[in-house]
Structure 1
């Protein structure tokens, strides 16, 4: 009994130490984002800023900065895209589990093949533009909407643990497939649905590729793409200063990069605790159950 308690306390101590170590990089990023650029150039990164500065955040939130508009676009795209993607994945998973679906195994093999082979960039771009997904909000949602096969099989494997007797009882009461899916399966699948919601949400929030390929209007730039462009422009100006072809003004290049990281990961860090209690259970059961 004593050895079990000692082992438990030892595990807690080790996990606490590892957790504290893992927070150090995030703490360093936060500190550097509030450090003066000249101090960074002279002293490098430091947990204690030599000179406190808000220049990076002032630049990002300046009056002419479209940061708030990009935040709004990213939030809209993430919310709408995640809801639609989770719904489609859930319905596809139910189709692959329902035994009365005649070719469900063939469909599963078809989806599995898409995990191995990719059509390439050119067909993807031609298909997107032919559907009118150019310079509109749907260009940031629909190209990434088709469910990830990994998430699909995660949901399907989770659904396999649901007893067939529930489906049979619902059908005896005259329930349709739509009713069974959303009134019987959906509540029982909350752990795995929360897991793929996190996956889809992070993917949509971090997606900048669709904006590069399909969006030319600045008012439709998502947050990730806008900050990518801003960092690129600052780096270009600094390189021009090095050659003497641009005015010599100290731009907060390094601190802006760190402030950018804080602004981009903030919503995801705040969103994760609400799904944490479902995450591990849904991931383990969905990936192991057969």
Structure 2
């Protein structure tokens, strides 16, 4: 019997050679995932003239900060756009977690009488919507949110797909025995959710928080529709406006008052890469914090028998 158990343990144990090969494969795959962003960072620090002459290179002949200098020439507007984006992302993510977690928990409970109706109500919005014009009229005229922070927050606050994901997580990961034990102890629905369900839901909530954060951080379309105040323009929309202005100058260089030398020195390609770095850098550094909660939430909570 002991020999059989030992053979089973040896079968599930990788040899040193296979362990090295799998680690090497994982390392190469991780490098291929990270390499494009590293290459974009290198290009953003490359001199525009060297880039036009030699093309893209991992080791450019001349480094330059002209691309970032050109982007930051907008002065306080870029920093203000960063502040608006950070505020919208934090506020929107918190509201999304609040609305989606409550909604998904309600339709995941079999004791809720109208769970099928509200589940279908959320699912129906994934198939059909009112269209752009009715949405614009509701946001600007009916709700009066034009040129406010809430015009950037509320349209993305509730996502039916995220509701379905979290509902499935509640149904499969939160045992009914845990909720029944809370009811036996005299706890209400709200207290059961906060003290019993919420600690078990950290992996699902962290996933939804990451999705919502990415959605708010990368959103520029709502700003294009609802924001005319330059003090409320988010980062993505501001970078798009800088890019549009630069393209307009280059396409109309013959009618421009700028000199030919100034037009040639304009960091057209490198500034695009600098914008990518400025737009994606903060969210890349924020991802490890969500990853920590993925791992931590897996071991929280248990049902005692």
Q: Report the TM-score when normalising by structure 2.
A: 0.87
Q: CA deviation at 1:140?
A: 0.9
1:34 and 1:255 in contact (8 A); partners too = yes
For residues 36-93 of structure 1, give each alpha carbon's deviation from its aligned partner in whole angstroms, at most 9, with x where no partner exists. 1111112221111222111111122236351100000000000000000011110001
Q: CA deviation at 1:173?
A: 2.1
Q: Unaligned regions of 5+ residues in structure 2, if any?
A: 1-9, 299-305
Matched, 1:106 2:104: no
1:158 and 1:282 in contact (8 A); partners too = no
State how far apart, in whole Å, the 1-side matches of 2:19 and 2:54 are.
42
Partner of 1:50: 61
Counting only pairs closer than 5 Å after superposition, residues 193-232 of structure 1 correspond to structure 2 as: 193-232=205-244
Secondary structure, counterpart of 1:132 in structure 2: coil
**Larger radius of gyration between Structure 1 and Structure 2:** 2
For the structure 1 residues 109 and 268, does the alpha-carbon distance in structure 2 shift closer, same or farther, using more than 3 Å as the test? same
Q: CA deviation at 1:244?
A: 4.8
For the structure 1 residues 149 and 281, does the alpha-carbon distance in structure 2 shift closer, same or farther, using more than 3 Å as the test? farther
For the structure 1 residues 64 and 54, does the alpha-carbon distance in structure 2 shift closer, same or farther, using more than 3 Å as the test? same
2:199 and 2:297 in contact (8 A); partners too = no
For the structure 1 residues 120 and 63, does the alpha-carbon distance in structure 2 shift closer, same or farther, using more than 3 Å as the test? closer
Counting only pairs closer than 5 Å after superposition, residues 6-17 of structure 1 correspond to structure 2 as: 6-17=17-28
2:43 and 2:56 in contact (8 A); partners too = yes
Partner of 2:5: none
Matched, 1:167 2:168: no
Q: CA deviation at 1:281?
A: 9.9
1:195 and 1:282 in contact (8 A); partners too = no
Of residues 66-75 and 56-65 in structure 1, the stretch that sits farther from structure 2 once superposed is 56-65
Secondary structure, counterpart of 2:75 in structure 1: coil
For residues 215-262 of structure 1, give each alpha carbon's deviation from its aligned partner in whole angstroms, at most 9, with x where no partner exists. 001110000000010011111111112x35442212111111101111
Matched, 1:275 2:294: no
1:215 and 1:221 in contact (8 A); partners too = yes
Query: Number of residue pairs matched?
Result: 281
Partner of 2:278: 263
For residues 164-191 of structure 1, give each alpha carbon's deviation from its aligned partner in whole angstroms, at most 9, with x where no partner exists. 1211121122211111111211111001
Q: Unaligned regions of 5+ residues in structure 1, if any?
A: 284-290
Measured on the aligned residues, the alpha-carbon RMSD in Å equals 1.9
Q: CA deviation at 1:277?
A: 4.1
State how far apart, in whole Å, the 2-side matches of 1:136 and 1:113 are.
29
State how far apart, in whole Å, the 1-side matches of 2:294 and 2:247 are.
39
Partner of 2:194: 182
